């Protein structure tokens, strides 16, 4: 019986030692691969870089009255740096080209009348400062919502026959966005987001509002 009293505490201590050897290194391994981004997982230096294909849809009445066709010619690049576990700040550069064709149009200009097929083009290049709030649901997915403001370089072209009219402006733009980042491989992610852009007095003192749908890679 005395031997049992001696062996039981020794056995209990040995079980605790085995648990420590199995459990704690596993958790230390998880912590080692975590950082303040995407549930603190595998993104270096508390920052990330996105490059995305962008599809755009005119939304505001001023925009749709001039061009009502969607743009499948767009690009978005942005960089984010985390200042807390959830809040990141950064900058972005975008590009969209909208184009629409109208048949049998007559245009009255100072040089006379021009008749033929009319091509309408609007190109936007927004440069924004952004802030995002990021929420991680698990180890491989992060949701975010954000707001940005900056300057949009906007160019409008209208062509009929040999007549070409061009107007360029630099105007204030705001952007609201929601999106998500999905882990697909170690150090590689897919990002997707939806944003609404409003360029104030973008063309002929009209506001240009459009929706951007983006998908791309995060590194």
**Same domain membership, residue 40 and residue 28:** no
The CA distance from 182 to 185, in Å, is 9
Let me know: does 80 contact 43? Beta carbons within 8 Å.
Answer: no
Q: How many domains does the chain have?
A: 2
**Same domain membership, residue 196 and residue 111:** yes
**Same domain membership, residue 26 and residue 80:** no
**Same domain membership, residue 172 and residue 99:** yes
Q: Name the DSSP class of 34.
A: -
Let me know: does 53 contact 191? Beta carbons within 8 Å.
Answer: no
The CA distance from 171 to 203, in Å, is 9
Q: Give me the residues paired with residue 159 across strands.
A: 119, 164
**Same domain membership, residue 51 and residue 19:** no
At residue 184, the pLDDT reads 86
**Same domain membership, residue 150 and residue 73:** yes
Residues 6+ apart with CB under 8 A from 47: 37, 79, 80, 81, 82, 88, 90
**Same domain membership, residue 203 and residue 151:** yes
Q: How many CA atoms lie within 13 A of 162 on its CB side?
A: 3
Tens of pLDDT, residue by residue over 78-103, are 999 999 989 999 999 999 999 988 87
Place of tokens 């949701």: 143
**Same domain membership, residue 166 and residue 94:** yes
**Same domain membership, residue 137 and residue 95:** yes
For residue 126, name the pLDDT band (cuts at 50, 70, 90): very high
Phi, psi dihedral angles at 65 (to 5 degrees): -70, -20
Segments of the chain assigned E as strands = 47-58, 74-82, 87-109, 112-138, 141-160, 163-185, 188-203, 206-218
**Same domain membership, residue 12 and residue 70:** no
**Same domain membership, residue 118 and residue 101:** yes
* Domain that residue 22 falls in: 1-32
Tens of pLDDT, residue by residue over 6-62, are 433 443 344 344 344 433 334 433 333 334 344 443 344 588 899 999 999 999 988
């Amino acid at each position: 019986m005395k031997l049992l009293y001696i062996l039981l505490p020794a056995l209990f201590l040995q079980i605790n030692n085995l648990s420590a050897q199995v459990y704690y290194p596993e958790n230390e391994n998880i912590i080692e691969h975590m950082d303040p981004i995407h549930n603190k997982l595998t993104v270096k230096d508390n920052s990330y870089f996105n490059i995305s294909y962008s599809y755009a849809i005119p939304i505001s009445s001023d925009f749709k009255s001039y061009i009502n066709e969607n743009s499948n010619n767009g690009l978005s690049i942005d960089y984010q740096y985390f200042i807390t576990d959830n809040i990141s700040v950064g900058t972005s550069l975008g590009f969209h080209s909208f184009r629409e064709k109208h048949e049998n149009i007559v245009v009255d200009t100072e040089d006379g009348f021009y008749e033929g097929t009319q091509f309408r083009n609007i190109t936007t290049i927004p440069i924004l400062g952004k802030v995002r709030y990021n929420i991680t649901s698990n180890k491989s997915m992060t949701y975010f919502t954000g707001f940005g403001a900056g300057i949009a370089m906007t160019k409008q072209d209208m062509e009929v026959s040999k007549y070409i009219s061009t107007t360029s402006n630099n105007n204030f733009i705001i952007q609201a966005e929601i999106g998500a980042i999905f882990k697909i491989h170690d150090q590689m992610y897919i990002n997707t987001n939806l944003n609404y852009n409003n360029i104030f007095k973008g063309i002929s003192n009209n506001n240009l509002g459009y929706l951007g749908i983006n998908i791309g890679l995060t590194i």
